[in-house]
Amino acid sequence: MVQKIALEEHFLCPGFEDYWKSTVGDVDPQILSQVVGRLSDFGASRLDAMDRAGIARAVLSLSGPGVQAEPDTAIAVRKAREANDLLAREVQKRPDRYSGFAHLAMQDAKAAADELERGMRDLGFAGAMINGHTNGQYLDHPALAPFWERAQALNALVYIHPTDPVAPHPVLDGHTGLKRATWEWGFETGSHALRLVFGGLFDRYPKARLALGHLGETLPFLLWRFDSRAKLYGVKLNKKPSEYIRENIVVTTSGMFSAEPLHCTIAALGHEHVMFSADYPFESPEEAGHFMDTVPLPEDVRADIAYNNAVRLLGLTS
């Protein structure tokens, strides 16, 4: 069993249940209750699941959308800080097993930048997880320039996690099975990342760093087409879209425990840009761990994806 660091592992704290439940309205109440229990636990249950999967360290993040769905900016700023303080206390109890991603109120760019800096410098967090758009505002909005300036200065990894789209996609009407995690979230999150690429964010902030789950939300499979269509439509960038995706974006294996897409992603991005995730408790850590242990890979590549890349890219202690 190879040693692993997992990067998309969720928790829930008191006062955030209603934000989260807005994204799981179709889930059976009994299953929902079990998931809430796992999200709220930082002790034996979570650690046992990590041990069974060979996960030495989990980077914990608040299950979304959190305060990004809060209409009152002052409340969002306050509660984001509270969530980060709670997470920091839990990490301090088991610093050998847990790290954290900051939760941010993106309604206020300066407050988000300040909280990111506090999270990384004072609380020891590894970066931030942002749950998609904030009340319809995406991360390419000009008002967020102060946030990106600070994120670049801090060399922060900003992980974009899926959330519900601003409006339903009519093409999915009548097909509940295609909603959310099946297809809708991947399209939403991949499109969000492409807004940053095609909108020139990485020209303005060339050292900004982004992370995407689910092996890059399909972006690694379409690099040639992004370049081809950007040229066709006269998109003005300093580099090809594929170059930003390869240089400024890293991906994790969360919710994609299949050899074919992993091998394609490695071929497209290079294995040094791929990291392990289990997506606890929404995916089985045992399944994720078994996949990482057994998928056909050179052993040095397996070790890098499972553990070493996270140490290098997030500055984690090994």
Query: What are 35-83's pLDDT values in tens digits?
Result: 888 999 999 999 999 999 999 999 999 998 999 999 999 999 999 999 9
Poorest-pLDDT segment among 24-33, 148-157, 249-258, 291-300: 24-33
Using the predicted structure, report yes or no on whether residue 318 has a pLDDT greater than 80: no
What is the residue-averaged pLDDT of the chain? 96
pLDDT tens per residue, range 216-256:
999 999 999 999 999 999 999 999 999 999 999 999 999 99
Nearest to 241 by CA among 217, 224, 253, 216: 224
Mean pLDDT value of segment 203-209: 98
Percent of the chain with pLDDT over 70: 98
Nearest to 206 by CA among 266, 249, 236, 235: 249
C-alpha–C-alpha distance, residues 144 and 110, integer Å? 8
Nearest to 3 by CA among 36, 51, 40: 51
The tokens describing 201, both together, are: 């964010």
Q: Into which CATH architecture does domain 4-314 fall?
A: Alpha-Beta Barrel (3.20)
Does the pTM exceed 0.85?
yes
Mean pLDDT value of segment 155-162: 98
User: Could you list the active site residues?
Assistant: 279
Q: Would you say 60 and 100 are in contact if contact means Cβ atoms under 8 Å apart? A: yes
C-alpha–C-alpha distance, residues 72 and 128, integer Å? 21
C-alpha–C-alpha distance, residues 160 and 78, integer Å? 21
pLDDT tens per residue, range 292-303:
999 999 999 999
Residue in the structure block whose two tokens are 């499972």: 306
Mean pLDDT value of segment 205-214: 98
Residue 128 phi/psi, 5-degree rounding, is -140, 150
Torsion of CA 214, 216, 222, 226, to 10 degrees: 150
